[in-house]
Amino acid sequence: MRIILLGAPGAGKGTQADSIKQKYPVAHISTGDILRANVKAGTALGRNAKTYMDAGKLVRDEVIIGMVEKRLEEPDCKEGFMLDGFPRTTPQAEALDKLLKKLGLALDAAVELEVSDEVVVGRLTTRRGCKNCGEIYNTVTKPTRAAGICDKCGGSVVQRDDDREDVIRKRLAVYHEQTAPLIEYYRAQGILVTVDATGGKDVVLKTLEQRAAR
């Protein structure tokens, strides 16, 4: 399985990827997670990316493309992969096409998770994450048992710097302007699959399985 998960921040790309992984253990490549790991480790890449991330802006294409190229060459990608949060611009999509061609690979689907801006703002302002293990919580739908403490590892559970409402609005504007055009890009390639992102945590897995059975 080689797929792309497309959708606004907060559409649930990570959640859908987690559910797919339970059944198809392919590599889950989240460019946001790779960048956050670099920020946490204090690498040069992380220090540079943090400024963009905190402002809700996209990190430069060359940086992201280089990062994904390296990642796709790792052995765990041989059996397949899910790209979560990449590509986010037309140059990134074109670079991915070029790279896959070089590797002799093709995408099975580009899954668009459709969701309204207001649902996104509601989901992200209440989203929290464990600083230690990355487990995701929500103050309304999945609160921690003890306030601010991770149920799984006891780490501290905090709000992401870019999950403040002003930054979320900026990220949404960037999505509509720079990433939404990719929907037409993949429709033109005949691999676009549109899914209602309010349809539950297994909705992408179910849709892909129904499609494969046809």
Nearest CB to ligand AMP, comparing residues 165 and 209: 165
The torsion angle over the Cα atoms of residues 156, 162, 164 and 167, rounded to 10 degrees, is: 180
The residues facing 156 across adjacent strands are: 149
Q: Interface with ligand AMP by CB under 6 A: which range of 55-63, 135-143, 186-194, 197-205?
A: 55-63
Token look-up 């720079």 returns 178
By CB under 6 A, residue 86 contacts ligand AMP: yes
Q: Interface with ligand AMP by CB under 6 A: which range of 70-78, 81-89, 108-116, 143-151?
A: 81-89
Q: How far is the CB of 64 from ligand AMP (least distance, A)?
A: 4
The residues facing 125 across adjacent strands are: none
The residues facing 130 across adjacent strands are: 157
- The rounded distance, in Å, linking the Cα atoms of 210 and 206 is 6
* Subset of residues 141 to 170 that bind ligand AMP, contact rule: CB under 6 A: 162
By CB under 6 A, residue 32 contacts ligand AMP: yes
The torsion angle over the Cα atoms of residues 198, 19, 203 and 207, rounded to 10 degrees, is: 150
* Subset of residues 87 to 106 that bind ligand AMP, contact rule: CB under 6 A: 88, 92
Nearest CB to ligand AMP, comparing residues 35 and 193: 35
Burial class of 46 by CB neighbour count within 10 A (0 to 12, 13 to 18, 19+): middle
By CB under 6 A, residue 64 contacts ligand AMP: yes
Confirm if 152 and 200 have CB atoms less than 8 A apart: no
By CB under 6 A, residue 53 contacts ligand AMP: yes
Q: How far is the CB of 193 from ligand AMP (least distance, A)?
A: 19
Contacts with ligand AMP, residue ranges (CB under 6 A): 9, 31-32, 35, 52-53, 56-59, 64, 85-86, 88, 92, 162, 171
